[in-house]
A and B are shown apart, each in its own frame.
Chain A
Amino acid sequence: EIVMTQSPATLSVSPGERATLSCRASQSVISNLAWYQHKPGQAPRLLIYSASTRATGIPARFSGTGSGTEFTLTISSLQSEDFALYYCQQYNNWPPGTFGQGTRVEIK
């Protein structure tokens, strides 16, 4: 099973600042990686798939980069609605499609 490791566990950022979230895979997942945003009591929301493709309706301030084992989600200018949990998920090896443990983006 591929292990996904996200860092940091918590990221404290001021509104308007840039946030950079990392996700590392224990072996190559090529570009088969997705990012999700999750707020308490809500459905998780797909942000990015294929490592760098924004899902429908996702603002341009969200961007994904990387391939192989190292991936990054960048939020260029944090808005109030962006404070949430973020998960990466690999879907190169199946089953299962493993998730990282999450990064919490909180208001500084």
Chain B
Amino acid sequence: ILNVEQSPQSLHVQEGDSTNFTCSFPSSNFYALHWYRWETAKSPEALFVMTLNGDEKKKGRISATLNTKEGYSYLYIKGSQPEDSATYLCAFAGGTSYGKLTFGQGTILTVHP
């Protein structure tokens, strides 16, 4: 059983604050780490796929880093806006099946105006 854990479980911030959260995953048999954004009443939407140790990806105010040796990834949001409120899921690809993703439980972010 692959263990993918995210912390914190939920986060409340004020508009304009910068924030970050963590995803930890198995450091062996690693293939890729995905981040998804999931707004209420919608379906998950891919943000990033990272494959190389030390990878850093950026999309607007959101960025992510990857450390495959120690098995963690950080997602950063700079200058949070109310529209950033969503659940952020990370997912690990590796083990014995590279096509299958093992999802974490997610971090629920609420940005207050």
Do the two chains belong together in a single complex? Answer: no
